[in-house]
């Protein structure tokens, strides 16, 4: 038996803004240098991925992507410093929460014995 949790950044009216899915999307965009390729790697449509990014940018008031349109080498997207900071902070908070959940899990299991 174990405890499980999911961590999201939510708005004041409890709408999800950022969590594991958007974190993965940003990491895939970073890996592939493209919103479209990042979305494709997650079996997600470009329009859905774009909607997720646009919502996060609107809700948090930060720009996540630097976009390059077309050209001879094609377009692409790179993460902004703010996006990298968001990913880093989310990862840190998630790891701290996991440590605390593991402590609570141990307490729960010890009390069941």
For residue 27, being part of any structural domain is answered with yes
For 77, the domain range is 19-112
| pLDDT score of 2 | 82
For residue 96, being part of any structural domain is answered with yes
Residue 111 CA to residue 48 CA, distance in Å, equals 45
Q: Which residue has the tokens 């701290």?
A: 96
Q: Tell me, what CATH number does 106's domain have?
A: 1.10.10.10
111 neighbors 93 (Cβ within 8 angstroms): no
Where b means 16+ CB within 10 Å and e means fewer, 14-38 reads: eeeebeeebbebbebbbebebbbeb
For residue 90, being part of any structural domain is answered with yes
For residue 3, being part of any structural domain is answered with no
For residue 89, being part of any structural domain is answered with yes
| pLDDT score of 72 | 57
Residue 44 CA to residue 103 CA, distance in Å, equals 36
| pLDDT score of 58 | 96
For residue 102, being part of any structural domain is answered with yes
| Torsion angles phi and psi, residue 72, rounded to 5 | -65, -30
Residue 86 CA to residue 64 CA, distance in Å, equals 9
Structural domains in the chain (count)? 1
pLDDT per residue as tens, the chain (113 positions): 788 889 999 999 999 999 999 999 999 999 999 999 999 999 999 999 999 999 999 999 999 999 887 655 667 899 999 999 999 999 999 999 999 999 999 988 888 77
For residue 10, being part of any structural domain is answered with no
- The whole-model pTM stands at 0.87
For residue 35, being part of any structural domain is answered with yes
């Amino acid at each position: 038996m174990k405890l499980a949790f999911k961590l999201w950044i939510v708005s004041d009216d409890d709408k999800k803004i950022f969590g594991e899915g958007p974190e993965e999307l940003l990491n895939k965009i970073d890996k592939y240098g493209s919103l479209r390729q990042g979305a494709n790697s997650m079996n997600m449509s470009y329009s859905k991925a774009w909607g997720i990014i646009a919502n996060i940018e609107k809700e948090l008031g930060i720009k996540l992507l630097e976009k390059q349109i077309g050209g001879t080498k094609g377009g692409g997207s790179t993460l902004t410093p703010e996006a990298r900071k968001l990913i880093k902070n989310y990862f840190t908070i998630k790891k701290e929460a996991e440590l605390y959940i593991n402590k609570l899990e141990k307490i729960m299991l010890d009390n069941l014995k």
